[in-house]
Amino acid sequence: MRAGTASRLLANAAVWGYAFLILGPTLWVLSNAFKYKIDIITGATFAPVTWSNFEALLFSRQAHFLLNLLNSAIVGVVSTAIVIVCATMAAFTLTWLRVPSWVRWPLLGWALLFHMLPTLTFVGSWYLMYASVGLQGTYLAVILTHVVHNLPVALFLMISFVGALPKDLFEAARMDGCTYGQVFWRIAFPLVRGGMIAATALVFIFSWSDFAIALTLSSTSTMTAPVAIATFAQEYDIRYGEMAAGTILSIIPALGLILVGQSFIVRGLLAGAVK
């Protein structure tokens, strides 16, 4: 459209202003992670840099944040792997093969509905379920719940990616004598790898970011990073420095993903929103 210099400046000012609004607070928090508590409290902008917060967080005797980060990683990697495998196979079958209507529509409909309902309304039931089989607080409980929580998103994402493949490739494969499974492994899977990466990135972020499920279903030994961070804020003597340090550490995977795979994430978001 039109591009008067004044409107151009204004638009860029607005957008970059917002970008500053995003970076500013983040950088301020970052800075807090490196300050002594006294400097945080007095609001000193320039203060001696210290790693003490990180030390206290990760290595002190009462500290268990390293374990928490590890737990987040375990839960994230395992649940994401399970989700992507299940979702990709199901997406392929639902998109290209003949599935009876009484399976297809309830499955997709319920997945969509479940995705839109508040997670907290299920948590109580999940807790009871796991408790009754002795799984409360275990890795398995959190992993399984993450899996089922992210399955709808992954499913719809993969359906849109698989659906974007040309139909006649599959028909050619069938004429060449492939079974459904062979069509999937030899044709669909190699060609949908980009989409799978995008979905994996998003699902991992969702799992890493999860709070509600981990809060209620994990135990002290399986606590994930987000839950640990929240505990810093619960005490009377709020541990600002450690909270900030923990924040920084928790953002690292996300930032890493943006730097490395920005295009994938955007692809995933756009495809997901279209559904």
List the Cα angle 43/48/50 in 5-degree steps.
Answer: 105
Least distance to other proteins, CB of residue 59, Å: 21
Asked whether position 67 contacts other proteins by CB under 8 A, the answer is no
Count of alpha carbons within 13 Å of 206, Cβ hemisphere only?
A: 26
Query: Which of 47-55, 63-71, 73-81, 237-245 is the region at the interface with other proteins (rule: CB under 8 A)?
Result: 237-245
Q: At 137, phi and psi to the nearest 5?
A: 80, 0
Candidates 50, 52, 64, 93: give the one binding other proteins (CB under 8 A).
93
Residues near 165 by beta carbon (within 8 Å), at least 6 away in sequence: 188, 191, 192
Q: Is 264 in the site for other proteins (CB under 8 A)?
A: no
Contacts of 83 (CB under 8 A, 6+ apart): 146, 147, 150, 151, 154, 203
Alpha-carbon gap, residue 152 to 159, rounded angstroms: 10
Nearer to other proteins, 25 or 66 (CB): 25
| Identity of residue 174 | R
Quick one: 2 or 61, whose CB is closer to other proteins?
2
From 50, 127, 140, 197, residue interacting with other proteins (rule: CB under 8 A): 127
By beta-carbon proximity to other proteins, the closer residue of 195 and 226 is 226
Of 46-54, 58-66, 81-89, which part binds other proteins (CB under 8 A)? 81-89
Contact between 114 and other proteins per CB under 8 A: yes
In angstroms, how far is CA 46 from the centroid of its own chain?
A: 34
Q: How far is the CB of 54 from other proteins (least distance, A)?
A: 15
Q: Does 237 bind other proteins (CB under 8 A)?
A: no
Q: How far is CA 53 from CA 29, 59, 68, 85, 237, in A?
A: 13, 10, 16, 39, 15
Is 47 near other proteins (CB under 8 A)? no
d(CA 275, CA 270): 9
Phi-psi region of 134 (alpha: psi -120 to 50; beta: other; left: phi over 0): left
Among 34, 156, 161, 208, binds other proteins (CB under 8 A): 208
CB atoms < 10 A from the CB of 191, how many? Answer: 15
116: contact with other proteins by CB under 8 A: yes
Interface with other proteins in residues 134-193 (CB under 8 A):
144-145, 147-148, 151, 155, 166, 168-169, 171-182, 184, 187, 190-191
223 touches other proteins (CB under 8 A)? no
Among 22, 61, 62, 237, binds other proteins (CB under 8 A): 22
- Which one among 73, 135, 197, 254 touches other proteins, defined by CB under 8 A? 254
User: By the 8 A CB rule, do 216 and 235 touch?
Assistant: no
Of 49, 66, 70, 97, the one binding other proteins by CB under 8 A: 97
